[in-house]
Structure 1
Amino acid sequence: MKYRKPRGQTISLVLAAHPVSAAAMTAVVTLAAGLSGRPALECLLVAATVLSGQVTVGWLDDVLDRHRDKQAGRLDRPVALGWVDPGTVTFAIAVVVLLLVPLSVANGTYAGVAHLTAVGSVWLYHLWLKRTALSWLPYAVSFGLLPAFLSYGGLGGGMHGSPPTIAMTVLAALLGIGVHFLTVLPDLVQDKETGVRHLPLRIALRTGAPKLLLVSVIWTALVSAGIVTAALTVGLGQ
């Protein structure tokens, strides 16, 4: 493995959380909350909730994949590089989960259950389904629950809002599948070498990566356009 100068524990923990993807996901969901008419305080709660969940997902990924990342010579994975101990990252996950549960429930009971289930679904992806042909399923479930998290959301525990529209739920799930394909495509070579046989790799071996990338981009763009159209017509909640 090539050498990179070690970072401090705090910086290493931040980098291990996949900060770019965590921030992007947080920004998108928070923006959606704002566009749906939620007040500023509730949007801040949404941001804190989503960011907490995304941080645990990034950390879990780095801990579970540390041996594969080391084998592949990844220079962007602090745990594989030895900058931070896996036990430290695991402890950090436990600490943030203690915040994640009350933060999720603070959005409302149904919203909290939807968000915790969405996070748990992505955990399941990293724990097991990432290596199978069902790798798309956790992304579909996780993204498909986001409209429920937003439509049922409100400030404080209890029941708020209304069920999400079927159109928004289905489109969000389809968007999750597209995001899954786009995020794993850059690592196809590493995944093939380390035995991670997720669905995108299985398809790419038959069609070729460039063609799959094109289809994935078109799929994601069309679904995103569908979400915007649905938001302007049927709306988020029933």
Structure 2
Amino acid sequence: MSPRLRRRRTEPAEQNVAGTGSTTTTTAPEKQAEKSAERPSEDPVRGATAELTGKLAGKTTDTTTVEAAKPPPDEPAPTTGRERRRTLAHATPILLLRAAHPRQAVLTAVGLAAAAALAGRPGREVGLVFATVLVGQAVLGWHNDLVDRRRDAQRLPSGKPIADGYLDPATAWFALSCGLLLLVPLAVTNGVTAGCFYLASVGLGLMGNVVLRQGWFSWLTWAAAYALYPGFLSYGGWGGQTTGNPPEIAMVVLAALLGVGVHFLCALPGLVADHEDGIRHLPLRIALKIGATRLLVVALAWTALTLVGLLLVGNAVGLSQ
């Protein structure tokens, strides 16, 4: 019976090599190297690049994350239609157009041009009225956004290019100045007296952007500015000639009432923001009592009835005396 052999536990592991009676010892570092050699290498170039990058940056770089973040080299990122639209939307002419309150400007210009056509004015004078009013309304829109830019900037995005930081205020001021320089000869081309009427109405609108807009008399500048429109039309002519007669008193009163209705309609979208800012103009005071929905119905009815009254009076007695 052979004696039991005791296997001696040594730090280096002993391995019997096939075909020989000798044993080989493998240390722990050598085992780790063998395991690393048995494992397939992922990418030697990537590993070397990552190691070099890590040494230069003073930290280890995760090559997998870096490679995943990079776009394919042979497939450039396509430019989508949405990105093209965004770039076009932030062009300076488009931003200036948005800051000019184009909806209100076009509606006012179309309304006065239609009134001139109904009064029997020639086509060229109707076009001149449209151009004059359009430029004047753009000036008022730019001035309104410039005056309100700090208050509007407290609620981003406000939807207004100047307050949101897309349009430089200096650019808007420059556009406003150019608009005024263009507005004066356009207005005078309608006739000296007619031009003075319209320039006075624009001046009242500019004043309304600064004063009287936060209290009970917020409607006053709107009523006064619109009351000057019949005079602008009744004295209108072509080439700076002073033609026409004073407007009918009934037309002036109805135009002033129309201005009040337009003021209420323009104030409705900003009632919540005005209330948060502590502004208490007349539309907001009434909305707090009857509600915004009822105020909208009342303002629409007021404006519609005033327009009907203007048409009836204009058809009965005419625009001028």
TM-score normalised to structure 2 length: 0.71
TM-fit CA distance, 1:164: 0.5
RMSD over aligned Cα atoms: 1.5
| Aligned-pair CA distance for 1:7 | 0.4
Q: 168, 174, 192: which one pairs with 1:91?
A: 174
In the alignment, which residue of structure 2 is the partner of 1:208? 291
Among candidates 290, 304, 312, match of residue 229 of structure 1 = 312
Contact preservation (8 Å) 1:30, 1:43: yes
Provide structure 2 residue ranges, at least 5 long, that are not aligned to the other structure. 1-85
Match of 2:161 in 1: 78
Aligned residues: 235
Partner of 1:61, secondary structure, is helix
Task: Compute the displacement of 1:132 (Å).
Answer: 2.1
The aligned residue for residue 188 of structure 1 is 271
One-letter identity of the residue aligned with 1:72:
R
Task: State the Cα deviation string for residues 69-115 of structure 1 (Å, max 9, x = none).
Answer: 12133442000111111111011111110111111111111111110
Q: Mind listing any 5+ residue stretches in structure 1 that lack a counterpart? A: none
- CA shift for structure 1 position 214: 2.1
SS at match of 1:162: coil
The aligned counterpart of 2:104 is 21
Structure 1: how far apart are the matches of 2:234 and 2:190? 10
Contact preservation (8 Å) 1:8, 1:83: no
The two structures have a TM-score, normalised by structure 1, of 0.94
Alpha-carbon separation, structure 1, partners of 2:109 and 2:228: 15
Letter in 1 for 2:188: V
Superposition deviation, residue 207 in structure 1: 2.4
Q: Distance in 2 between matches of 1:214 and 1:40?
A: 36
Structure whose CA Rg is larger: 2
Of structures 1 and 2, the one scoring higher in RCO (CA 8 A, sep 6+) is: 1
Following the alignment from structure 1 to structure 2, what is the Cα–Cα distance between the partners of residues 174 and 182? 13
Counterparts of 1:129 and 1:73, CA distance in 2: 26
The answer on 1:220 being equivalent to 2:303 is: yes
2:99 maps to amino acid: A
Is the helix fraction higher in 1 or 2?
1
In structure 2, the partner of 1:122 is 205
Shift of 1:208: 2.1
SS in 1 for 2:163: helix
Work out which of the residue numbers 249, 258, 270 in structure 2 matches 1:166. 249
Partners in 2 of 1:92 and 1:49 — Cα distance? 16
Matched, 1:39 2:102: no
